[in-house]
Amino acid sequence: MENLSLMFAPLMSSKLMIVLVFGTLFGLILGVLPGLGPTTGGALILPFTMTLDPLSAIVLLTAIYCSATYGGAITAVLINTPGTPAAAATCLDGYPLAQKGEAGRALGMATVSSTIGGIFSVVVLVFFAPLLAQLAYEFGQPEYFALAIFGLTMLASIGEGSPIKNLIAGAFGILISTIGKDFMTSIERFTYGINELSEGIGFIPVVVGLFAISEMLTQSTLLDQVFKRVALKAVKLPSLLDYKKTWKTILRSSGIGSFIGVLPAEGGTVASLIGYSEAKRWSKNPEEFGKGSVEGIAGAEAANNAATGGAMVPTLALGIPGSATTAVILTGLIIHGVRPGPDLFREQPEFLYGIFGSMLIANILFFIFGFFGAKIFARITLVPNKLLWPMIFAVSVCGTYSLSQSMLDVWIMLFFGVIGFFMRRYGFSVVPVIIGLILGELVEGTLRQSLVIFEGNWLLFLTRPIVVTFFILSFIALIFPLLRKKKV
Amino acid sequence: MSNVQKQKRANKSLPFFFKDEFKVSFTIILVSTILLISTFTFDIVPPILNRGIQPATFPKGLLLLIIGLTLIVFYLSIKKPWKIEKKLPKTFFLTLFSFILFVIVSKTLDFFLAISLLSIFVSYCWGERRLFYLILVSIIFPIIVFIFFETILGLRFPPGIITNIYYQV
């Protein structure tokens, strides 16, 4: 209980409040701009966080995460283009409702359900993350290895891309993590005589390249796209009738979103699609879905924002990212010298509860900004790509260079930008590469340490119940998407 | 006949080595094989220092996994061909060219100049013709970013013809 009071520490710190307000506003801007979003935005801002203390840095990233996830709904409703992938399901009913002249009502419902979903997920985070961390105290090296394998096999079921292609991308990410000196024996691997590669490839050049630069290349192929914007007078709070119609949907989707978020490697996109389809399944008026149903908007928006808190549970408790954006947040934690896991809960409760509290406040802040400022944020979509992306390039290049003042990092960023573009073009998601890169050291390190403990006998993995459980879960995670595809 | 149908028919008549499925799988397998061969050049540690497995074993396993999975992807693509991608537009190649230009200019002349050149080039190629906006993205914005990084983050940019003038002033 005393830890819970630490949640309100950000309210007492003017510095953290400024960071929160800035993060929320910046996140909303990122959210409304199609092509950007919490992951790319988080990657772009990562180098700037080096000037902040670890708590402020993570507060900034989490505020961006929460508000950008909501911000995607503004674009989804007004121009029928999801600002973020997680808002794709919101388009289905948000835009038709806006076309009927009820854009304010659609955005009001999106704002309220996103806020409720987000706050619900913070409650889940506050209660479940410590429990999961406590469970992780029992983990030894073999259990961590099995857990990391489970996290990686979950990549197979990520929404976009085929399961096998996702696994290839994940393995590619782990392979990148092996570049440089082997952390156990100092033997150089894949360095080919380049001294700067001895320390390995940094997270930021890869993250910025795969998300920002590859998106710039993608945008270069979409220049003929024309957006039709629906006029917005003002955001309206949902009526009593709308609340009556949607409260069950909002609660259900909040639960679904939080649960999906907790699963390693899943995220808001999957959560919103499931939240939407469940809202339709349970609705008394399923025929209204796709034609401007407020239940559809509530189902998708509550779920995608609920996934934010859920995704932070495995990220903070186990160091396994729950989504693409939490992979960036995890990168932020690592570059600030914070190692997530059970020890973090024991040693730095004020740090953790500060993050929980700031996520709660960010959800309230985006409600206020969204409610009163959606009209202004909607205007940001008018910034043409031909001006926006060259500016993003300038920030990406300087940000990547700033970390170790090395031009090699900039070349690596460009290289991964091109790789990321072709990966996306041919159906390989780039998210598993990042998750693989982050988990790579954990997978290899725990495997090798386990083999030392087991004196090289691989079969001894099967004598540990938690390991066996994770292996079975991994097997299910691998088989499930293949079976689902076959059924479809 | 619609364009999609025309494209589908055209794709069916292509020899297998011209299809995306083959080109992508072949590239992945080729690169992985080269990397796999290079793992045999990694130093071997004596058994006493060897932590569980040799340093080369883990990357070898990963590369074999990638090759195996790619073969499965290719096999599956024979049964169910991939979606046909639209031809890449000229703007894509111009943007890609701007990256090469950026690398050359930043290596030989100046980092700031390279950013400015890329910005104006991309903005122009993407259709911007208004002079004020071209100046905004290519000069005003990079200057703001440059000063921000230099003063707030204390970053020192690599030397070059323009950067040197800035540092001398």
Burial label, A192 (beta-carbon count in 10 A; 0-12, 13-18, 19+): exposed
Q: Is the pLDDT of residue B2 over 80?
A: no
Distance from CA of B104 to the nearest CA of A (A): 11
Supply the pTM of this predicted model: 0.84
Q: Which domain holds residue A388?
A: 2-487
Do A398 and B145 lie within an 8 Å CB cutoff?
yes
Provide φ and ψ at A30, rounded to 5°.
-60, -40
What pLDDT shows up at residue A331? 87
Number of domains forming the structure of chain A: 1
Average pLDDT of span B90-101:
94
Give the Cα separation of A80 and B169 in Å (integer): 50
Beta-bridge partner residues of A181? A188
Helices (H), ranges, B14-156: 20-39, 57-79, 90-108, 111-125, 131-135, 141-151
What pLDDT shows up at residue A266? 62
Of residues B51, B137, B149, nearest to A398 (C-beta)? B149
**pLDDT band of B102, cuts 50, 70, 90:** very high
Residues of B in contact with A181 (CB under 8 A): none
What pLDDT shows up at residue B14? 66
Provide φ and ψ at A348, rounded to 5°.
-130, 60
Secondary structure (3-state) at B26:
helix
Average pLDDT of span B113-123:
94
Q: Predicted ipTM?
A: 0.89
Distance from CA of B77 to the nearest CA of A (A): 11
What pLDDT shows up at residue B152? 75
Average pLDDT of span B113-126:
94
What pLDDT shows up at residue A227? 66
- Extract the tokens encoding A196: 């700067």
- Higher pLDDT: B51 or A218? It is A218
Under 8 Å between Cβ of B66 and A168 = yes
- Extract the tokens encoding B48: 């006493």
Interface test with A, best of B44, B49, B73 (most A CBs within 10 A): B73
Do A178 and B58 lie within an 8 Å CB cutoff?
yes
Burial label, A4 (beta-carbon count in 10 A; 0-12, 13-18, 19+): exposed
Q: Is the pLDDT of residue B3 over 60?
A: no
> For B85, which residue in chain A has the nearest alpha carbon?
A425
Under 8 Å between Cβ of A44 and A395 = yes
What pLDDT shows up at residue A157? 62
B24-50 per-position pLDDT tens digit? 999 999 999 999 999 999 888 887 777
Of residues A165, A178, A407, nearest to B59 (C-beta)? A178
Average pLDDT of span B96-111:
93
The size of chain A, in residues, is: 488
Place of tokens 């050149």: B117
Of residues A48, A175, A395, nearest to B62 (C-beta)? A175
A244: Cα within 13 Å, side-chain hemisphere:
3
What pLDDT shows up at residue B1? 47
For residues A88-113, one letter each, b for 16 or more C-beta atoms within 10 angstroms of the residue's C-beta and e for the rest, the string is bbbbbbbbbbbbeebbbbbbbbbbbb
Under 8 Å between Cβ of A109 and A294 = yes
Q: Is the pLDDT of residue B69 over 90?
A: yes
What pLDDT shows up at residue A488? 46
Question: pLDDT tens, position by position, for chain A (488 residues)?
Answer: 566 777 777 677 888 899 999 999 999 988 888 777 888 888 888 888 888 899 999 999 999 999 999 998 888 888 777 778 788 888 888 888 888 888 888 999 999 999 999 999 999 888 888 888 888 877 888 988 898 888 888 776 655 568 889 889 999 999 999 999 888 888 899 988 888 888 888 888 898 899 889 989 998 998 776 666 677 777 788 888 888 888 999 999 999 999 888 876 567 778 888 888 888 888 888 888 888 899 999 999 999 999 998 888 888 888 888 778 888 899 899 888 888 888 888 888 888 888 999 999 999 999 999 888 887 877 777 788 889 899 989 988 988 888 788 899 999 999 999 999 999 899 888 888 888 888 888 889 889 888 888 888 888 888 898 899 989 988 887 877 666 655 54
> For A183, which residue in chain B has the nearest alpha carbon?
B55
- Using only the alpha carbons of chain A, give its radius of gyration: 22
What pLDDT shows up at residue B119? 94
**Beta strands A180-181 and A188-189: pairing type?**
antiparallel
Distance from CA of B153 to the nearest CA of A (A): 7
Interface test with B, best of A215, A218, A398, A457 (most B CBs within 10 A): A398
- Higher pLDDT: A482 or B67? It is B67
Place of tokens 């979606």: B83
Beta-bridge partner residues of A189? A180
What pLDDT shows up at residue A268? 77
Residues of B in contact with A184 (CB under 8 A): 51, 55
